[in-house]
Structure 1
């Protein structure tokens, strides 16, 4: 019986999530992590609960 494959995250996902969950990083910090390609837009939504929007 095949096992369900775990969701794969970006290299820095766990670190960004930990900082956000502990209140060390704001949503702006997490947004910057997407811009710096540490995480992707889907991971931003997973961490913050909000859709990622490009900076204007």
Structure 2
């Protein structure tokens, strides 16, 4: 399972919030584009 698949699974199950998924981007686990794919929201460094 890739990092993208893992984070997406956690988000879909409700085990990770949007803020937590943003933290995965900040720690370079996933990209901003992958964040958008997972959450359906645009990634912004100011949020």
TM-score for the superposition, normalised by structure 1? 0.77
Q: Which of the pair has more CA radius of gyration? A: 1
Give unpaired runs (5+ residues) of structure 2. Answer: none
Structure that is richer in helix per residue: 2
Report the count of equivalent residues: 46
Please give the alpha-carbon distance, in whole angstroms, between the structure 2 residues aligned to 1:14 and 1:45. Answer: 13
TM-score for the superposition, normalised by structure 2? 0.91
Query: What is the Cα-based RMSD across aligned positions, in Å?
Result: 1.2
Please give the alpha-carbon distance, in whole angstroms, between the structure 1 residues aligned to 2:19 and 2:13. Answer: 15
Give unpaired runs (5+ residues) of structure 1. Answer: 1-10
Question: Which consecutive segments of 4 or more residues in structure 1 shift more than 2 A?
Answer: none
